[in-house]
Amino acid sequence: MPLLEMKDVYLHFGGIMALNGVSFGVRKGEIFAIIGPNGAGKTSIFNCISGLYHPDRGKIIFKKKEINKLSPHRRAQLGLARSFQNIELFKGMTVIDNLMLGRHIHMRTDLITGGIFFGKARREEVRHREVVEEIIDFLEIQNIRKKPVGTLAYGLQKRVELGRALALDPNVLLLDEPMAGMNAEETEDMARFILDINEERDVTIVLIEHDMGVVMDISDRICALDFGVKISEGRPDEIQSDPKVISAYLGGEEVV
Amino acid sequence: MQQCGIFHETYTEDMAIFQTPFSRFWMGLFFVFLAIFPFISKPINAVLGTNTLYLANLIGIYIIGAHGLNLLTGFTGQISLGHGAFMGVGAYASAILTMKLGIPFLIALPLAGLITAMVGMVFGIPSLRLKGLYLAIATMAAQFIIEYAMRNWTTLTGGSAGMSVRPPSFFGFYIDSDRSYYYLIYVFVILATIYTKNIIRSRPGRAFVAIRDRYLAAEVIGVNVWLYRILSFGISSFMVGIAGGLWAHYVLVISDEHFVIWLSVQYLAMIIIGGMGHVMGGIYGAIFMVLLPELLRIPEHYLTVINPNAFAIFHSLRDGVFGLIIILFLIFEPDGLAARWHTIKNYWKLWPFSY
């Protein structure tokens, strides 16, 4: 039984079919990559899973529960976290505050206890601050923890966004092009973080990425998409040798 | 006398508002000043030719309301043009509760705040769908609806004839002088400021700012955006309602013409000038908006000596000058006085070796 499953999902924008009957299942503990040319519908899948888009037809099942009707914040509470293709951090806030927002669903402070602050709210702040600091250590961003996110370099912002998603303590982490626009060293770091998150924290990862080298190296299974249709699914070596993938996505050339 | 390098050993220390003994000392001194101000205001009045204690009370009331609007507009990013009317709701609610139902002031005031919060939340419902200019228009509708109700629901509000209010009393003591009321108001000012600061540095405040900065991302990381938008309207109206209640029992006669859209605009101007999204912004803004017209009165006073007609000429210019100063402010310091204060502080930190 897959942990996260798309069953025959259709989504259209006007006359364009963004998703045309897409189905796949992500098993617990794996790194599952979604690849495809630009406009294939990869990010649309993520938006359907996290609840920003509502599919016309089909089911999205997470932890044996149909989540189609749930609002995005309920899905986050269930254990779904994601990062965005274009960084969606809270730019005016510091790195710590951004990560603390990731802890939002695990905290209870409300307008009354928060307004009093001393006592309950402060204890909770400290407790979750410890969790956040642990993530800061893990991602090696100690030196920028008090900086407003908007002032950071692009690669670091990507890392902070990963940290914020991680702070939710999710079961499934959706990463939308985490390596986009990074240099070789940053890409390598990011790949290492993803593997560590997967292995040490036991987080299932769904990954959209254009860097084929990374995708083939770190993913357990891959799903290839073209014009909203799934054209192939399988282990990296199977995908590499699939003629449909090669012609649709790689233009007939050999995969790295 | 700045410490070079602040080293914290616990997270609690890191969260403290005043992080150095230096800032704690100055804060303490400021509180002493606040406490003795009513006793030293007489000589100041004589020099400036105005009742500074009255102005201080006005500032205090506006600070409470400005904190409220700042939570909504500065931190949650939802504009409201209805806060003038919400202040009126608080004023009338407190007046009706004490005068018609005979409820003691100390119970009536929070109740008035709650009633205003309720009204604010109802008129905040459009915020679930509307943003920016559209929300401004929707809240402006709230302003006009409430104004209309205050004017025409005569059985409840006394209509345009207004309504007289008794000064608050505790155990037989009437708080009816500027001086005693000053202390009452500033207790609430301090509470409101601490409350605002605490909200901002804990979970709900972070959720507000997240909604302001990127509401889609806020939703995806688990913030109930609808709930927090309405809560923001509620807490903001609560504070402005408290301000209204305090105002009603201070001026003793309230009528609908106090709570017109001009007051809403003034509140917005306060937080824009003071600094949106800074807790200090509401304070600086309220001081600025109350003192500026008073400062503009001083040249008027002196020019009359030279030319007896100066008063008439300058008086009509005053609104224009007032507007001009606000425009200049927006051009040269769009982030408000709070940001300017930060810049000044950072400059002096390393003075005279800034580089």
For A59-106, how does the pLDDT look when each residue is reduced to its tens digit (9 = 90+)? 999 999 999 999 999 999 999 999 999 999 999 899 999 999 999 999
Percent of chain A with pLDDT over 70: 97
Counting as low any pLDDT under 50, the low residues of chain B are 1
**Would you give the DSSP letter of residue A222?**
E
A 132-151 residues with CB < 8 A to B: 133
**Residue in chain A nearest B14 by alpha carbon:** A126
Task: Quick: pLDDT tens for A215-251.
Answer: 999 999 999 999 899 999 999 999 988 888 888 765 6
CB of B16 within 8 Å of a chain A CB? The answer is no
Which domains, and CATH codes, for chain B?
48-349 (1.10.3470)
d(CA B130, CA B309): 50
Q: CB B198 to CB A117 under 8 A?
A: yes
CB of B8 within 8 Å of a chain A CB? The answer is no
Task: Quick: pLDDT tens for B283-292.
Answer: 999 999 999 8
Task: Quote the pLDDT of residue B158.
Answer: 84
Domain residue ranges of chain A, discontinuous segments joined by +? 1-79+170-256, 95-167
Q: Which two tokens stand for residue B280?
A: 């200090």
Is the pLDDT assigned to residue A113 strictly greater than 50? yes
Residues of A in contact with B67 (CB under 8 A): none
The answer to whether B61 and B241 are in contact (CB under 8 A) is no
The answer to whether A18 and A225 are in contact (CB under 8 A) is no
Residues of B in contact with A70 (CB under 8 A): none
Average pLDDT of the residues in A143-149 = 92
Average pLDDT of the residues in A150-154 = 92
Task: Quote the pLDDT of residue A60.
Answer: 95
Is the pLDDT assigned to residue A254 strictly greater than 60? no
A52, HSE (Cβ side, Cα atoms, 13 Å):
18
Task: Quote the pLDDT of residue B352.
Answer: 73
d(CA B35, CA B19): 23
- Write the CATH number of the domain with boundaries A1-79+170-256: 3.40.50.300
Q: CB B210 to CB A51 under 8 A?
A: no
Contacts within 8 Å (CB) and 24+ apart, B137-142: B137/B81, B139/B79, B139/B80, B139/B81, B139/B82, B140/B81, B140/B82, B140/B261, B140/B264, B141/B82, B142/B82, B142/B85, B142/B86
Is the pLDDT assigned to residue A252 strictly greater than 60? no
Count the Cβ atoms, other than its own, within 10 Å of residue B100.
10
Task: Quote the pLDDT of residue A250.
Answer: 59
* Smallest Cα distance from A199 to chain B, Å: 22
Stated pTM of the model: 0.91
* Smallest Cα distance from A110 to chain B, Å: 6
Q: Which of B11, B202, B216 sits opposite A52 (nearest CB)?
A: B216
Is the pLDDT assigned to residue A56 strictly greater than 70? yes
CB of B221 within 8 Å of a chain A CB? The answer is yes
CB of A112 within 8 Å of a chain B CB? The answer is no
Task: Quote the pLDDT of residue B144.
Answer: 95
* Reported ipTM: 0.91
* Smallest Cα distance from A213 to chain B, Å: 29
The answer to whether B269 and B73 are in contact (CB under 8 A) is no
